[in-house]
Amino acid sequence: MSLNQETVRQWSLPELADGCARAGVHGVGLWRAPVQAYGVRAAARLVRDAGLRVTSLCRGGFFTALDPGERAAALDDNRAALDEAAALGTDTLVLVSGGLPAGSRDLPGARERVADALAELAPYAAARGVRLALEPLHPMYAADRCVVSTLAQALDLAERFPADRVGVVVDTYHLWWDDTAGPQIDRAGGAAAGARSRIAAFQLADWVTPLPEGVLLGRGQLGDGSVDLRWYRERVEAAGYRGPIEVEIFNPALWARDGADVLAEVVARFREHVG
Amino acid sequence: MSLNQETVRQWSLPELADGCARAGVHGVGLWRAPVQAYGVRAAARLVRDAGLRVTSLCRGGFFTALDPGERAAALDDNRAALDEAAALGTDTLVLVSGGLPAGSRDLPGARERVADALAELAPYAAARGVRLALEPLHPMYAADRCVVSTLAQALDLAERFPADRVGVVVDTYHLWWDDTAGPQIDRAGGAAAGARSRIAAFQLADWVTPLPEGVLLGRGQLGDGSVDLRWYRERVEAAGYRGPIEVEIFNPALWARDGADVLAEVVARFREHVG
């Protein structure tokens, strides 16, 4: 199990490093903003000294701008994110593709711009030993956050590139409703085709309702919701995945509590519902 | 164009009948609760006298209960809905399948219970000349409202039954994000297979963000959002659909306005973005 930093957003980076070490959690998923605020090198040293592995960096992406200046700025920012990932020692940069530009209704066009951006970034990523990890987000984010809504769509894009350069993220919160997620996880695993796995990261959160306004911060603690988390773990493992399992829950009710209590609860829930 | 009653919820049934007649709109989609409150026979007479056709009745469904008593009650309620549809002279009962029972994580099982309910209701519906119209709802409703999330899933269920007994609803609000919606509309149309069309209703609303808490009442006026409405109209027509196009927008901002103003705006937006 790896702990994504946003699950315990109330913790500073030193608190996160210390708290994970105390809880016996050896992996963390980090976010760019707090890492930048702390200093990338200092953050890398901090987690290394705590014996932690950085399992992913969140996040690059936002590739769908039509304006050339915005597009160039997004690509520059993604190169910076790849540099940061390499400095932190992680091989996985999670990508949230971006939504529709203002006034646009062209989803297929936006998805093609994601492919164009992957093509531009893939060599830069490969030179740093970092894989671009395309994350399909729940369809409720298709307009304003991520035009890649299903694992099938993510794989359609990723498979245009070598598997060691572009992978996908399997996140239960985003995929749980989809009856094609199972076969698509098999496809991502690649075993049947004798291909290298595309599964770059596996993330967990539960689905709880009612959704809050804006639908960003309504993820559920493991076991509180509708997702058959163990089924997903078994399916990604059957597809050959042996990497970290990251718990990533955005939930203000968790952020209002003591971080160590939250982490202890996450570990217990992970044992009960996933392990 | 047909006006779904919920778009102008501020109107009573007589106001709806009168307002549609004045606006030259000849079809209405009705909801059970206001029809029951007014009286089913009286409502049927009212809309008939106003020269209106009832294009659909919303809604039956909620088939996913595990408890035998709840399940039997749901089936009884659906038989009553079919009687009401027949009395209103519509051949289409829209079905919202229902979410997961409390504590359940078994989406495939819930979807099978939808199929079981269709099997029980189909003969009763056929005897009344009413088609069961299974509506896939956006995946954000999968847990608490409708376990049927895509047109492909709806067709997988509908195709177990004769096409004149069980059809599907194509609603742009629910399907717009799905890159398989186009091919699935073709499949629903049935032309390539020489089959009768499964498209029982075609409904429009636009997708706007941010979504409100609970995500039920955030539908956008035509043209205000991300959906390529004309693309959908052309696609369902290319698939052979020649039936009414129902505008169904749940939006408190529209309900706060004068109903005639809202309907005039809907008609103008329909011409601009759909027709």
CA distances from A117 to A125, A132, A154 (A): 12, 11, 14
Is some CB atom of chain B closer than 8 A to the CB atom of A116? Answer: no
Contact state of A179 with B227 under an 8 Å Cβ cutoff: no
Contact state of A139 with B138 under an 8 Å Cβ cutoff: yes
Q: Are A53 and A27 in contact (CB under 8 A)?
A: yes
What local confidence, expressed as pLDDT, does residue B192 receive?
81
pLDDT digits (tens, 9 = 90+) for A231-254: 999 999 999 999 999 999 999 999
Q: How many CB atoms lie within 10 A of CB B252?
A: 10
Q: How many CB atoms lie within 10 A of CB A175?
A: 25
Among A111, A140, A209, whose Cβ lies nearest the Cβ of B144?
Answer: A209
Share of chain A above pLDDT 70, in %: 100
Distance CA B256, CA B234 (A): 32
pLDDT tier at A192 (50, 70, 90 boundaries)?
confident
pLDDT digits (tens, 9 = 90+) for A20-41: 999 999 999 999 999 999 999 9
CA distances from B22 to A93, B2, B16, B17, B262 (A): 58, 14, 10, 9, 13
Distance from CA of B138 to the nearest CA of A (A): 8
- On the question of pLDDT at B195 being above 90, the answer is no
pLDDT digits (tens, 9 = 90+) for A41-97: 999 999 999 999 999 999 999 999 999 999 999 999 999 999 999 999 999 999 999
Contact state of B142 with A210 under an 8 Å Cβ cutoff: no
Instruction: Read off the tokens for B246.
Output: 């129902």
Is some CB atom of chain A closer than 8 A to the CB atom of B252? Answer: no
Distance from CA of B176 to the nearest CA of A (A): 9
Element (H, E) at B75: helix B68-88
Distance from CA of A228 to the nearest CA of B (A): 6
Please, how many CA atoms are within 13 Å of residue A166, restricted to the half-sphere of its CB? 24
Distance from CA of B152 to the nearest CA of A (A): 10
Q: How many CB atoms lie within 10 A of CB B272?
A: 12
Average pLDDT over residues B37-66: 98
Q: Strand A206-207 vs strand A219-220: parallel, antiparallel, or unpaired?
A: antiparallel
- CATH classification of the domain holding B19: 3.20.20.150
What local confidence, expressed as pLDDT, does residue B11 receive?
98
Is some CB atom of chain B closer than 8 A to the CB atom of A68? Answer: no
Q: What is the ipTM of this complex?
A: 0.96
Contact state of B210 with A153 under an 8 Å Cβ cutoff: no
Q: Can you tell me whether residue A42 is helix, strand or coil?
A: helix
Which residues form the domain of A169? Answer: 2-273
Size of interface A-B (CB pairs under 8 A): 95
Among B142, B149, B210, whose Cβ lies nearest the Cβ of A213?
Answer: B210
What local confidence, expressed as pLDDT, does residue A194 receive?
84
pLDDT tier at A193 (50, 70, 90 boundaries)?
confident
Task: Give the chain A residue nearest B106 (alpha carbons).
Answer: A228
Q: Which residues contact B210 (CB under 8 A, 6 or more apart)?
A: A144, A213, A214, A215, B218
Least confident of A186-195, A208-217, B69-78: A186-195
Q: Environment class of residue A49 by beta-carbon count within 10 Å: exposed (0-12), middle (13-18) or buried (19+)?
A: exposed
Overall domain count for chain B: 1
Among B143, B177, B212, whose Cβ lies nearest the Cβ of A139?
Answer: B177
**Phi, psi at residue B166, to the nearest 5°?**
-130, 120
Average pLDDT over residues A160-167: 97
pLDDT digits (tens, 9 = 90+) for B82-124: 999 999 999 999 999 999 999 999 999 999 999 999 999 999 9
Contact state of B210 with A139 under an 8 Å Cβ cutoff: no
Contact state of A142 with B177 under an 8 Å Cβ cutoff: yes
Among B208, B213, B227, whose Cβ lies nearest the Cβ of A105?
Answer: B227
Q: Are B196 and B164 in contact (CB under 8 A)?
A: yes
Contact state of B139 with A143 under an 8 Å Cβ cutoff: no
What local confidence, expressed as pLDDT, does residue A61 receive?
97
Location of structure tokens 């004045």: B22
Share of chain B above pLDDT 90, in %: 98
Is some CB atom of chain B closer than 8 A to the CB atom of A42? Answer: no
Is some CB atom of chain A closer than 8 A to the CB atom of B197? Answer: no
Is some CB atom of chain B closer than 8 A to the CB atom of A144? Answer: yes
Instruction: Read off the tokens for A167.
Output: 């992978």
Chain B residues inside the 8 Å CB shell of A101:
none
Chain A residues inside the 8 Å CB shell of B142:
176-177, 207, 226
CA distances from B144 to A211, B99, B102, B148, B203 (A): 11, 4, 9, 11, 21
Beta bridge partners of A146: A98
